[in-house]
Amino acid sequence: RGFRLSTLESRDVIMSSTFEDNSTLYRFLNCRILREGRLLDRDEALWVRGGRVQDPRQLFWDEKTKADVEINCGGLIASPGFIDLQINGAFGYDFTSDVGQVEKAVHSVAKAILQHGVTAFCPTVVSSLTSVYHKILPQIAAYKSSPDEARMLGTHLEGPFISRTKCGAHSEHAIWDSKDSQITYETVHHCYGSLDHVKIITVAPELPGMFEVIKQLTSGPHKIVVSLGHSEANLRIAEEAVQCGARFITHLFNAMLPFHHRDPGIVGLLTSHSLPEGCTVFYGIISDGVHTDPAALRIAHKACSAGAVLVTDAMAAMGLGTGVHRLGTQDIVLENRRAYIKGQQTLAGSIATMDSCVRHYWKESGCSIEEALEAATLHPAQVLGIDSDMGTLNFGSRADFILLDDSLCVQETYLGGVRVYPYQESK
């Protein structure tokens, strides 16, 4: 009934498939599938139909069917696609400053990051004026992902409710002035204009009124993930924020109090015993060889490997060359793989790609291949509570996956079982 293809032959056949094809049954064989924390033997195949991973036992025993198409993956690793929870822009586009072309920016980035294995992402907007949020967020809320682009999961709002002393590359003029008044849920809602399609908000928990805001954001109708970052919070304040519902840390070690043995600050959440029972505090970490020293990567991994979430924190300069680029309202100078605010030595967002972050984390943290991959797949899905659908290759999950070689270099990217990278060449 079926026919078999080599890896190279499979590319054009899979590209000729449509995203609406719900009947063709594909069997990806000779691959090592990442599932439940381990790489399976090559005799385990990945079965895909209707954009979902299928259970071969059900196919054999209940349906008594065979594959329509078999694809030989040549011994490559089959991993869920990467999920980037913090990306400010890339390839010349900035999600904050490109107010008039937000939809174009998201579409362009969503297409381009497929080559780096990213199949889902949260476009990140840095601290901005209220008028800017009211222009940008409705455009993102109305955005519809194309089937051949990485899935847009919702917005990550990084600011403006952050500390002025830990603002990093954020414009001080855009940071909320909370000196004279308590911040309330109404304050936050008014600032952003709408919370539709917002998935993550980064806040400094020490700001007045923020504990109650965290409670309402995380328990309200939008069930927003609150992340702690750009903050001067000590450990006690950070623990209280987690008690109120915060579950994520924005770029660990960066833009927060440095670790101190008498008060480890937000970093101390990785080993705190004063958290809700069964609570895992996930932490974003920029594994680009610039923002986080390898020794710090190893400390974080050994302290709480289950909480590691690799993020790029990429800016518009990602994929471009040396020069001046934009991050929100700031001019950013790119030199020697490092991005700085123009005229300063303050590090701005990174220019790293997600696949390079995964490789660096694997080589420098002392983790296994499986742990490196799960830090960019399963863990970010767990942060958003979508791990039953994405971030795994469990039966019933979306067939968004990538094929990698033993050096963790991306060879092919699939969305819903359809190959979207490498792109099909026109004949």
- For residue 274, the one-letter residue type is S
Candidate list 94, 288, 313, 355, residue with the active-site label: 313
SS3 340: strand
**How far is it, in rounded angstroms, from Cα 370 to Cα 380?**
15
Provide the pLDDT for residue 153. 97
Residues in the chain: 427
Question: 45: which 2 tokens?
Answer: 């195949």
Interior/surface letters 358-394, b for 16+ CB within 10 angstroms, e for the rest? bbbbbbbbebebbbbbbbbbbbbbbbbebbeebbbbe
Of the candidates 192, 202, 278, 271, which has an alpha carbon nearest to the alpha carbon of residue 241?
A: 202
String of DSSP letters for 43-100: T--EEEETTEEE-HHIIIIIS----SEEEE-TT-EEEEPEEEEEE-EETTEETTT-GG
1: pLDDT confidence band, cut at 50, 70 and 90?
A: very low
Residue 372 is given by DSSP the state: H
Provide the pLDDT for residue 334. 76
178: pLDDT confidence band, cut at 50, 70 and 90?
A: confident
**Mean per-residue pLDDT, 289-302:** 96
Provide the pLDDT for residue 3. 52
**Mean per-residue pLDDT, 4-19:** 52
**Mean per-residue pLDDT, 39-48:** 95
177 catalytically annotated:
no
Is 69 or 6 the better-scoring residue by pLDDT?
69
Q: At what angle do helices 294-304 and 354-365 cross, to 10 degrees?
A: 80
**Mean per-residue pLDDT, 194-209:** 96
Is 183 or 6 the better-scoring residue by pLDDT?
183
319: pLDDT confidence band, cut at 50, 70 and 90?
A: confident
Does pLDDT of 348 surpass 80?
Answer: no
The pTM of the full predicted model, rounded to 2 decimals, is 0.93
Provide the pLDDT for residue 6. 53
339: pLDDT confidence band, cut at 50, 70 and 90?
A: confident
Q: Dihedral through CA 91, CA 94, CA 99, CA 104, nearest 10?
A: 30
**How far is it, in rounded angstroms, from Cα 414 to Cα 150?**
10
Of 141-150, 184-193, 199-208, 256-265, which gets the smallest average pLDDT? Answer: 141-150
Provide the pLDDT for residue 8. 44
Provide the pLDDT for residue 179. 75
